[in-house]
Structure 1
Amino acid sequence: MTAPETPTGRWALRRALVDDRDGPLPAMLVALTCLAGVVDATSILALDHVFVAAVTGNIVFLGIALAGAGGSIVAPAVAVAGFVVGALVGARVVRHPGGHRGRAVRDIAAFKLLLAVPVTVVVVLAGDQPLHPAARLAVTALLAASMGGQLALIRYLKVPDLLTAVLTLTTIGILTEHGTGRRDPFVLRRGLALLAFVVGVVAGALLARVVAPGAALTLGLVIILGVAAGSHAVSRAEAPWTAPR
């Protein structure tokens, strides 16, 4: 029995997360969108008060500091540098699997784990105690590198409306493109992306303030592990969605 042309209910939600064009990639990218919210909230509240996912914000902070209008030059510069290095590494990583998008996600997840595990351990061991300034900068650089790799993956995958750390275009899509209605899978996908980011920000902020920064980063690590497990499960698939766009 074929699905209706106008999706409804659970079918529409499923199509928003898993479809013929991109397979299960949208579901994994929604999870990474939540991760972006978690780490940005944590870095702003508990680290060097800079973004690690939204690099544009750091460029603004850097410009303000260079203009002598206040703020640190070092912290945003370190975040931007870490992001650039992560993006360059990520660009090489995603092309290593030989054109398989599922393996690209798996390998970037492994790269992110390589950076996230030591960062999380350091911050968890610190507990409620402030990190040494040098340690904070190192954590900021590694988190930014992780997000740079993630954005290189997004650029490679080309899944519509799921940019994980850049919600401006997704929000514009919600406001201006209504598709066939609120149950249109692409409309739902945009809403899920925005919701995932907000949930990530709120969860990261609550954990960082009420529990400890390490708790927020532990949540981020759990999300990466989930994406790594999911991408590993589909890394041997040979369906049409695995081909580069």
Structure 2
Amino acid sequence: MPLVLREARDTLVPDMGGPHGPLPPVMLVLTVLTGLVDAFSYLLLGHVFVANMTGNVVFMGFALTGAAGFSTLAATVALASFGAGALAGGITAHRARAHRGRQLHHTLLVETAFVTAAMIVALVSGGPYAGGARFTLIVLLGLGLGVQNAAVRVFGVPDLTTTVLTRTLTATVADSRLAQGPGSRAGRRLLSAGALLAGAFIGALLLLNGHPALPLVLAVALLAVLCTAATLLARSDAPWTRPRDEA
């Protein structure tokens, strides 16, 4: 089997006795979720991201010049909400630091609460989302994805950050044999990029051809599946559940 395909297979169906156990496929599902919610926020909430904060900093620069379609306030609210979510996610994860399965379970529950609240607001409001509904959605989704990113940082699964792909794609090329590097791990890294692309594509497809809240409905469904799995993983005593400094 070619190396790239083997790396992709090992990411999708990881060694449960390995250092990260089932976390790689969980990170891929969360990457799809990132694409879903950022499709919703960018296309319906006025050129703002709730997961990719680099984009919001750039958008803020655009808005400060008076460029049409960009809002300094929306970008600021997204950044502040994401930061608050990251704080909540960090606290939640560190309180369960003795068991990575419980870290996963607890942080997923918090993220699910925020994203579910956003879904309810989106369904009740019905779109187009403006005024209070728009900023409520930005806040709730920013909080949820901030929690997710804090948890992902704590887990530290290589190449699966669920949001930032610039370094991942750079490493794919810079670490390749062609660049005389140690090996690109292209199978895992390209799978991560593909998951984000798939989430964005599905999210845009759903909101452009159906109800605008559908990307959030699907995001909540994915989180429900992950929470169910995490309930079982929280009871595991496999090696991957130990804190990384003890593994």
TM class, shorter-length: 0.7 to 0.9
> In structure 1, which of residues 18, 21, 43 is the aligned counterpart of residue 19 of structure 2?
21
1:48, CA displacement in angstroms? Answer: 2.7
Of the structure 1 ranges 58-67 and 216-225, higher mean CA displacement relative to structure 2 is found in: 58-67
Do the aligned partners of 2:174 and 2:184 also contact (CA within 8 Å) in 1?
Answer: no
1:244, CA displacement in angstroms? Answer: 2.4
Do the aligned partners of 1:7 and 1:185 also contact (CA within 8 Å) in 2?
Answer: no
Identity of aligned residues (%): 36
Match of residue 168 from structure 2:
170
Of the structure 1 ranges 168-177 and 115-124, higher mean CA displacement relative to structure 2 is found in: 168-177
> In structure 1, which of residues 57, 61, 70 is the aligned counterpart of residue 59 of structure 2?
61
> In structure 1, which of residues 25, 28, 39 is the aligned counterpart of residue 37 of structure 2?
39
What is the identity, as a one-letter code, of the residue corresponding to 2:150? A
* Matched ranges for 1:109-188 at <5 A: 109-127=108-126, 129-178=127-176, 186-188=185-187
Separation in 2, partners of 1:68, 1:125:
32
The alignment's C-alpha RMSD in Å is: 2.2
Is 1:219 the counterpart of 2:214? The answer is no
Separation in 2, partners of 1:116, 1:217:
7
1:102, CA displacement in angstroms? Answer: 1.6
Separation in 1, partners of 2:84, 2:10:
35
3-state SS of 2:21 partner? coil
1:230, CA displacement in angstroms? Answer: 1.7
TM-score, reference length from structure 2: 0.87
TM-score, reference length from structure 1: 0.88
Alignment size in residue pairs: 235
Gaps of at least 5 residues in structure 1 are none
Deviation per residue, 1:52-111 (Å, 9 max, x gap): 100111111123323445532111111011001000111100011132112111111100
1:223, CA displacement in angstroms? Answer: 1.3
Do the aligned partners of 2:36 and 2:219 also contact (CA within 8 Å) in 1?
Answer: yes
Deviation per residue, 1:31-64 (Å, 9 max, x gap): 0000101100110111232001001111111233
Separation in 2, partners of 1:185, 1:49:
33
Separation in 2, partners of 1:12, 1:69:
43
Gaps of at least 5 residues in structure 2 are 178-182
Match of residue 99 from structure 2:
100
* Matched ranges for 1:73-92 at <5 A: 73-92=72-91
Separation in 2, partners of 1:30, 1:77:
28
3-state SS of 2:50 partner? coil
What is the identity, as a one-letter code, of the residue corresponding to 1:215? L
What is the identity, as a one-letter code, of the residue corresponding to 2:164? V
Separation in 2, partners of 1:185, 1:107:
33
Separation in 1, partners of 2:97, 2:43:
40
